[in-house]
């Protein structure tokens, strides 16, 4: 529907808008998807959305103009009395219950225009079909005009019982049909509605049932209209729907014209038929009201701008929802394990003591002090992640951890920290406190307790820290991660090698791929070529390997957190789903928070906590690393405010 001029309303077929809008949306969406496939960064996504929206709105404009040329729609005749805003929340008579409402103001304006721009005295208010609001329009215009001091008579001409007689509480009998039959006088049929402090509105209800409209064809009804018109400025007749009630013919014979009530959903064909019918029966359309309008009539530019805004929001919103769903689905594809160290301790206590071949050696008196559990740290001070690298997946029996790192994120804003636990660190077996073994053996689990839980217990016992989260990657996955994030830079003064680890690097800086990076962090026998001779690189031990592991892990997670777009993050998660095992407590929100907290941080921004150890040979001849001081001393040296139990 469009207003071409102040007094003209054009009702267009609704399919015009549906087709134009639909084709514009489809074309914009397809173009947006194609542009995103080329670049999905946030800035590119915004630019793509803007470009696709411009194209979509341009297509809509062409189609809108084209459809307007092919079909000009139906022009509603007569003066436009105005657009009445939707007032469903105010009931059928907003002029009574809400005098200050915009609907009341619109009805008051319609009453003024009715007097100023129409010449008839007896006017039918009718709609092409039911459900358009002709009754409420007739009633509210009458109330507004009556309050303005005009002498108005409101007549219910709808014999179906759907007219104004429903309101007012005065009943419908006797009424118009009874007057027409001569069975009631005008004084008996008329009612007075109080519509203001000093305003009264005379109303004649519909009267006794007369569905065929025979009573309205009598000579008597003509006399009734003649008499009432002498006493009123306007006689407003609430008529039944034009195309569905033959009784309107009898009313039209006595009316000077029709005020056609339409709305934004009216059918152009029905409006045209109604106007033609009123011409035939003698009450042509002299004015119209657009009832219960959802909005003010907009210009073509206004329509285009509104579609631009909606299309842009739809594209951006769809992109966000789609990306979020993909990220959620990719995240859920990651393998997850349940980590609950408190429950694991209960299970360990309830099962038989681990005495198998992997349970370790008996703790002797000379090392008992070194293996004593650390003092507990308040679990609210740190958020901790136990990051583990293994030759095998955690669910496979017999797997051992080769890389064990605890990431410390203080909740008070202190710098984050890293603790590497050497794989040969000799600790008490959580499943048998009387025995000790290398910490990496705990990943194999014991009894009914899974490996990740047992390893987390060992880490908690040694450090006193509460392990909140668990992350495991296998070395095949590690290589894939390094390759995915673009490699890792390794700088050496001389060519280096380790035949056992399959390491070979040239002098200088090398962007190593996954294979070479893995060899670098696992190398125990690194050699360098100096003056044509291979010699063992000095200072290479488990602590050196720990430092390498920390640097690589920091670089790896740092690059993973530098994703340029949500789409890139989704693809990264999907590609690496086979490389990681996470605990079930790490949701996508935790991962995003962690990535954001690590964003922009280099290895220099992390505090390194070095575990003091000494070499020790067990009674079975195994070479291990024995702690030389309680871990809380190491922790307090770096985090003096950490709440450690005394």
pLDDT in tens, 341-390: 889 899 888 887 766 667 778 888 888 888 888 899 998 999 999 998 87
**CA–CA dist 465, 456 (Å, integer):** 10
Examine residue 257 and state whether it is found in any structural domain, yes or no: yes
> Confidence class of residue 298 from pLDDT cuts 50, 70 and 90?
low
Identify whether residues 139 and 64 lie together within a single domain. Answer: no
Identify whether residues 325 and 353 lie together within a single domain. Answer: no
Alpha-carbon separation of residue 101 from 95, 144, 326, 419, 448 (angstroms): 8, 13, 47, 69, 72
Identify whether residues 342 and 312 lie together within a single domain. Answer: no
What single string gives the DSSP state of each residue in 156-218? EE-TTTTSGGGSSSS-S-S-HHHHHHTSS-HHHH-EEEE-SSS-EEEEE---S--TT--GGGS
Strand partners, 362: 435
| For residue 4, pLDDT beyond 50 | no
Question: DSSP secondary-structure letter at 437?
Answer: E
Residues in Cβ contact with 211 at an 8 Å cutoff, skipping those fewer than 6 apart: 159, 160, 247
pLDDT at 144: 94
pLDDT at 10: 72
Q: CA 123, 129, 130 angle in degrees (round to 5)?
A: 95
pLDDT at 180: 85
Q: How is residue 278 written in tokens?
A: 């009123």
Examine residue 400 and state whether it is found in any structural domain, yes or no: yes
Identify whether residues 385 and 284 lie together within a single domain. Answer: no
Identify whether residues 130 and 185 lie together within a single domain. Answer: yes
Domain count, the chain: 3
Sign (positive or negative) of CA dihedral 69, 73, 79, 85: negative
Residues in Cβ contact with 541 at an 8 Å cutoff, skipping those fewer than 6 apart: none
Examine residue 516 and state whether it is found in any structural domain, yes or no: no
Examine residue 488 and state whether it is found in any structural domain, yes or no: no
144-167 pLDDT per residue, tens: 999 999 999 999 988 888 888 888
Identify whether residues 453 and 547 lie together within a single domain. Answer: yes
pLDDT at 324: 75
Average pLDDT, the chain: 84
Q: Which helix (H) or strand (E) holds 115?
A: helix 102-117
| For residue 287, pLDDT beyond 80 | yes
Q: For residues 564-576, give the mean pLDDT.
A: 66
Q: How many residues does this entry show for the chain?
A: 646
**CA–CA dist 460, 88 (Å, integer):** 65
Strand partners, 361: 436
Among residues 347, 542, 346, 337, which one has the least CA distance to residue 439? 542
What single string gives the DSSP state of each residue in 176-191? HHHHHHTSS-HHHH-E
Examine residue 510 and state whether it is found in any structural domain, yes or no: no
**CA–CA dist 587, 334 (Å, integer):** 11
**CA–CA dist 371, 105 (Å, integer):** 86
pLDDT at 73: 66
- Terminal-residue alpha carbon distance, the chain: 80
Distance of CA 527 to the CA centre of its chain: 56
pLDDT at 264: 79
Who wins on pLDDT, 150 or 321? 150
Q: Which helix (H) or strand (E) holds 534?
A: strand 533-536
Q: Which helix (H) or strand (E) holds 33?
A: helix 14-38
Who wins on pLDDT, 592 or 531? 531
Q: For residues 77-85, give the mean pLDDT.
A: 90
| One-letter-per-residue 3-state SS of 326-358 | HHHHHHHCCEEECCCHHHHHHHHHHCCCCCCCC
**CA–CA dist 184, 164 (Å, integer):** 19
Q: For residues 70-76, give the mean pLDDT.
A: 69
Who wins on pLDDT, 199 or 402? 199
pLDDT at 198: 85
| For residue 393, pLDDT beyond 60 | no
| Cβ(51)–Cβ(27) below 8 Å | no
Examine residue 472 and state whether it is found in any structural domain, yes or no: yes
pLDDT at 230: 84
pTM: 0.56
Q: In degrees rounded to 5, what are phi and psi of residue 435?
A: -125, 160
Q: For residues 490-518, give the mean pLDDT.
A: 91
pLDDT at 297: 57
pLDDT at 202: 92
Cis peptide before 193 (omega within 30 of 0): no
**Residue % of the chain over a pLDDT of 90:** 30
Identify whether residues 324 and 255 lie together within a single domain. Answer: no
| Cβ(555)–Cβ(547) below 8 Å | no
pLDDT at 481: 79
Q: Which of 282, 309, 329 is the last residue of a domain?
A: 329
| Cβ(361)–Cβ(436) below 8 Å | yes
**CA–CA dist 259, 261 (Å, integer):** 6
Identify whether residues 127 and 18 lie together within a single domain. Answer: no
505-516 pLDDT per residue, tens: 999 999 999 899
The CATH number given to whatever domain includes residue 121 is 3.40.50.300
Identify whether residues 287 and 325 lie together within a single domain. Answer: no
Strand partners, 172: none
pLDDT at 124: 95
pLDDT at 227: 85
For the ranges 118-122, 123-127, 238-242, 573-577, which has the lowest average pLDDT? 573-577
pLDDT at 395: 47
| For residue 477, pLDDT beyond 80 | no
**CA–CA dist 162, 135 (Å, integer):** 8
433-447 pLDDT per residue, tens: 889 999 989 988 888
Write out the residue range of the structural domain in which residue 577 sits: 338-477+533-554+566-638
| For residue 398, pLDDT beyond 60 | no
pLDDT at 353: 73
Who wins on pLDDT, 605 or 374? 374
| For residue 143, pLDDT beyond 90 | yes
The CATH number given to whatever domain includes residue 609 is 3.40.630.190
Identify whether residues 149 and 9 lie together within a single domain. Answer: no
Match 């996954």 to its residue by tokens: 514
For the ranges 132-141, 236-245, 471-480, 574-583, which has the lowest average pLDDT? 574-583
Beta-carbon-side half-sphere exposure of residue 384 (alpha carbons within 13 Å): 24
**Residue % of the chain over a pLDDT of 70:** 86
Identify whether residues 98 and 167 lie together within a single domain. Answer: yes
> Confidence class of residue 72 from pLDDT cuts 50, 70 and 90?
low
Identify whether residues 87 and 26 lie together within a single domain. Answer: no
- As to burial, measured by CB atoms within 10 angstroms (0-12 exposed, 13-18 middle, 19+ buried), residue 218 is middle
pLDDT at 37: 80
Q: In degrees rounded to 5, what are phi and psi of residue 409?
A: -120, 95
| Cβ(477)–Cβ(580) below 8 Å | yes
Q: For residues 491-499, give the mean pLDDT.
A: 91
Alpha-carbon separation of residue 348 from 352, 440, 445, 448, 457 (angstroms): 8, 18, 10, 8, 10
pLDDT at 392: 58
> Confidence class of residue 129 from pLDDT cuts 50, 70 and 90?
very high
Examine residue 583 and state whether it is found in any structural domain, yes or no: yes
**CA–CA dist 383, 411 (Å, integer):** 7
Examine residue 490 and state whether it is found in any structural domain, yes or no: no
Q: For residues 587-598, give the mean pLDDT.
A: 68
**CA–CA dist 417, 171 (Å, integer):** 84
């Amino acid at each position: 529907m469009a207003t071409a001029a102040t007094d003209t309303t054009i009702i267009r077929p609704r399919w015009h808008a549906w087709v134009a809008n639909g084709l514009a949306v489809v074309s914009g969406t397809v173009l947006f998807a194609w542009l995103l496939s080329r670049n999905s960064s946030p800035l590119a996504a915004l630019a793509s959305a803007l470009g696709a929206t411009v194209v979509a709105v341009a297509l809509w404009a062409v189609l809108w103009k084209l459809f307007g040329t092919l079909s000009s729609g139906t022009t509603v005749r007569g003066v436009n009395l105005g657009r009445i805003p939707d007032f469903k929340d105010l009931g059928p008579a907003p002029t009574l219950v809400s005098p200050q409402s915009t609907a009341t103001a619109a009805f008051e304006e319609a009453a003024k225009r009715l007097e100023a721009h129409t010449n008839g005295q007896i006017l039918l208010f009718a709609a092409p079909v039911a459900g358009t609001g002709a009754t409420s329009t007739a009633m509210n215009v009458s109330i507004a005009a009556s309050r303005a001091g005009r002498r108005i008579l409101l007549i219910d001409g709808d014999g179906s019982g759907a007219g104004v007689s429903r309101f007012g509480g005065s009943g419908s009998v006797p009424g118009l049909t009874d007057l027409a039959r001569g069975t009631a006088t005008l004084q008996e049929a008329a009612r007075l509605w109080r519509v203001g402090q000093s305003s009264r509105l005379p109303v004649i209800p519909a009267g006794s049932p007369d569905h065929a409209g025979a009573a309205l064809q009598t000579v008597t009804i003509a006399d009734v209209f003649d008499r009432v018109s002498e006493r009123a400025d306007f006689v407003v007749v609430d008529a039944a729907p034009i195309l569905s009630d033959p009784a309107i013919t009898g009313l039209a014979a006595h009316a000077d014209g029709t005020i056609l009530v339409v709305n934004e959903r009216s059918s152009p064909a029905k409006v045209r038929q109604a106007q033609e019918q009123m011409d035939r029966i003698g009450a042509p359309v002299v004015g119209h009201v657009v009832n219960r309008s959802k909005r003010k009539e907009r210009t073509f530019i206004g329509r285009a701008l509104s579609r631009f805004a909606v299309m842009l929001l739809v594209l951006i919103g769809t992109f966000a929802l789609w990306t979020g769903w993909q990220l959620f689905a990719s995240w859920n594809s990651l393998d997850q394990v349940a980590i609950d160290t408190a429950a694991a301790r209960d299970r360990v206590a309830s099962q038989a003591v681990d005495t198998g071949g992997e349970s370790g050696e008996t703790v002797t008196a000379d090392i008992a002090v070194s293996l004593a559990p650390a003092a507990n740290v308040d679990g609210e001070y740190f958020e901790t992640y136990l990051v583990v690298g293994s030759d095998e997946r955690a669910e496979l029996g017999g797997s051992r951890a080769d890389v064990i790192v605890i990431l410390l994120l203080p909740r008070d804003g202190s710098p984050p920290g890293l603790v590497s636990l050497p794989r040969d660190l000799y600790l008490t077996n959580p499943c048998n406190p009387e025995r000790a073994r290398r910490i990496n053996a705990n990943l194999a689990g014991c009894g009914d307790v899974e490996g990740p839980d047992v390893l987390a217990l060992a880490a908690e016992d040694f450090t006193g820290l509460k392990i909140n989260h668990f992350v495991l990657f296998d070395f095949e996955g590690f290589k894939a991660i390094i390759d995915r994030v673009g490699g890792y830079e390794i700088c050496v003064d001389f060519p280096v090698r380790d035949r056992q680890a399959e390491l070979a690097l040239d002098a200088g800086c090398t962007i190593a791929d996954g294979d070479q990076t893995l060899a670098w962090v696992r190398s125990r026998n690194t050699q360098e070529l100096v003056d044509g001779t291979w010699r063992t690189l000095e200072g290479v031990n488990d602590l050196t390997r720990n430092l390498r592991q920390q640097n690589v892990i920091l670089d790896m997670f740092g690059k993973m957190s530098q994703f340029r777009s949500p789409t890139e993050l989704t693809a990264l998660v999907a590609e690496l789903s086979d490389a990681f095992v996470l605990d079930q407590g790490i949701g996508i929100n935790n991962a995003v928070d962690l990535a954001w907290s690590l964003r922009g941080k280099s290895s220099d921004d992390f505090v390194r906590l070095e575990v003091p150890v000494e070499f020790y040979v067990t009674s079975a001849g195994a070479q291990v690393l024995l702690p030389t001081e309680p871990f809380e001393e190491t922790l307090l040296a770096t985090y003096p405010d950490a709440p450690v139990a005394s």
